[in-house]
């Protein structure tokens, strides 16, 4: 199993995906503005599309949507200094 984090925030509160990522670098799970982070595990053999769909499913089940949001998948935990950003297709 591998750990991933799905990050999502509104376009009203963040001017770009980079601004959203910077926010989570600075504040980790202490969020300011309308954003969320969802950690989850997926089998190591999952491809990026499936990992994206899992992350979206979790976020969308928590009342988020794709409209007017920025989102991405981070491989690992956001509080782990070794976590790396993975910009998946169409996220």
Residue-range domain boundaries for the chain: 2-86
**Which residue is it, tokens 């991405």?**
72
**Which residues lie across from 82 on neighbouring strands?**
none
- Entry pTM: 0.83
Q: Is 27 helix (H, G, I), strand (E, B) or coil?
A: helix
Task: Tell me how crowded residue 50 is: count the other CB atoms within 10 A of its CB.
Answer: 12
36 conformational bin, left if phi > 0, alpha if psi -120 to 50, beta if neither: beta
For 53-87, write each residue's pLDDT tens digit. 999 999 999 999 999 999 999 999 887 644 444 44
């Amino acid at each position: 199993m591998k750990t991933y984090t799905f990050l999502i925030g509104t376009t009203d509160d963040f001017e770009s995906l980079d601004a959203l990522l910077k926010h989570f670098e600075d504040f980790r799970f202490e969020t300011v503005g309308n954003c969320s982070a969802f950690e989850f595990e997926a089998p190591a053999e999952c491809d990026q599309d499936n990992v994206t769909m899992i992350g979206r499913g979790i976020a969308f089940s928590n009342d988020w949507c794709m409209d007017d949001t920025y989102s991405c998948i981070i491989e690992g935990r956001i509080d782990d200094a070794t976590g790396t950003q993975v910009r998946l297709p169409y996220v």
